[in-house]
Amino acid sequence: MTTSSYQAISIELRHCAKTFPDGTRVLHDLDLEIYPGETLVLLGPSGCGKTTTLRLIAGLETPDTGGQVLFNGQDVTALDIAKRNVGMVFQSYALFPNMTVAENVGYGLRIQKLPADQQKQRVGEMLEMMRLTKLANRHIDQLSGGQRQRVALARAIATRPRVLLLDEPLTALDAQLRDSLRVEINLLLRQLGITAVYVTHDQSEAMALGDRIVVMAEGRISQIGTPRQIYHQPKNDFVADFIGTMNRVQGNISLRRFTCPAGSLAVQADDKEQAELMFRPEDVRVSTELHDDGLQGNVSASFYLGDRTRLLVDIGQERHIVVESAARCELQPGQRVVMNLGNQAALVA
């Protein structure tokens, strides 16, 4: 299978709002451009409109009057799903239980009426690519969850769709399987170079898979950016708080004592005592060797995570921050620590 087997297209949503017949407006005038060959992740809390957006792209929903969906600049708003040539993978596999793995994978090719020898060859390629060759003659109910999802992926890409749409494909799997299949999907999407839209509410999945992430809230786009931009330059409070953990320290905490001594942190606010400092737990260096050059606090709680330890630290005046320390460093509740921010780590609002 070569990249050239898939023709990477651009997708554009213009003024796509969606109001359901009961009057619920679940999308508000969405404008979105998806570049050829990129994996765009739609991320956001339950009910924010991710699936509805995906269904608009698929042709399973139509936008309210005035909204347009374009594939490679061509208006496909009136085309139904069968004519859009999209591959879809859902959380609930949606495989045919009465067919074998090979028959499932070849289903779309039979519909396309591809000559039998080409069907056989394509199915063989797909099974090999998804490491399913040995399972070709098994029935779906004889497969594990991970294997089923690999069949669903193979079936979705077998017809060489113009775009691959994935709706929470890993949600039903256990954590370990999710991690390994996430790596496989990542490699697959890079290898195919296909334009893909991936819906998830799991931020680590979004970070790992997305070339860009669209963070959605209540039917609107809150921010679009690369995973790094979304994590390090959140545009608003919603994005800052939805992705990872964000600490905020305001007011009469001495920021200068907290920021690194070399002063490499850009504190832009004029009144440094009044500025709001925002920083991630991993941006903070924690030490038990108490000195004046930092912010001191008492450990309130400690959560051992295996590769690191998360600490909740009481910094006084009923304020707590979340910081991280090396896993091997055992810190007990009540212990006094001193904290410094790493270089370029913080944002000042």
If the CB atoms of residues 48 and 101 are measured against ligand ATP, the closer one turns out to be: 48
If the CB atoms of residues 48 and 284 are measured against ligand ATP, the closer one turns out to be: 48
CB of 175 to ligand ATP, least distance (A): 18
Please name the amino acid found at residue 270: D
If the CB atoms of residues 221 and 346 are measured against ligand ATP, the closer one turns out to be: 221
> Which of 196, 126, 136 is CA-nearest to residue 161?
196
CB 202 within 8 A of CB 44: no
If the CB atoms of residues 220 and 310 are measured against ligand ATP, the closer one turns out to be: 220
Q: Which residues bind ligand ATP (CB under 6 A)?
A: 20, 22, 24, 26, 44, 46-52, 201
Phi (first) and psi of residue 136, to 5 degrees: -50, -35
> Which of 151, 226, 230 is CA-nearest to residue 184?
151
If the CB atoms of residues 216 and 346 are measured against ligand ATP, the closer one turns out to be: 216
If the CB atoms of residues 155 and 201 are measured against ligand ATP, the closer one turns out to be: 201
CB of 47 to ligand ATP, least distance (A): 4
Between helix 101-111 and helix 116-129 the angle, nearest 10°, is: 130
Q: Cβ contacts of residue 48 below 8 Å, gap of 6+?
A: 216, 217, 218, 219
C-alpha 183: how far from chain center: 13
CB 17 within 8 A of CB 25: yes
Helices (H) and strands (E) in the chain, counts: 10, 18
CB of 92 to ligand ATP, least distance (A): 12
Q: Residue written as tokens 């809150």? A: 222
CB of 32 to ligand ATP, least distance (A): 14
CB of 22 to ligand ATP, least distance (A): 5
CB of 49 to ligand ATP, least distance (A): 4
> Which of 286, 289, 349 is CA-nearest to residue 313?
286
End-to-end Cα separation, the chain, in angstroms: 49
If the CB atoms of residues 62 and 302 are measured against ligand ATP, the closer one turns out to be: 62
* Nearest-angstrom CA–CA distance, 259 and 251: 15
CB of 50 to ligand ATP, least distance (A): 4
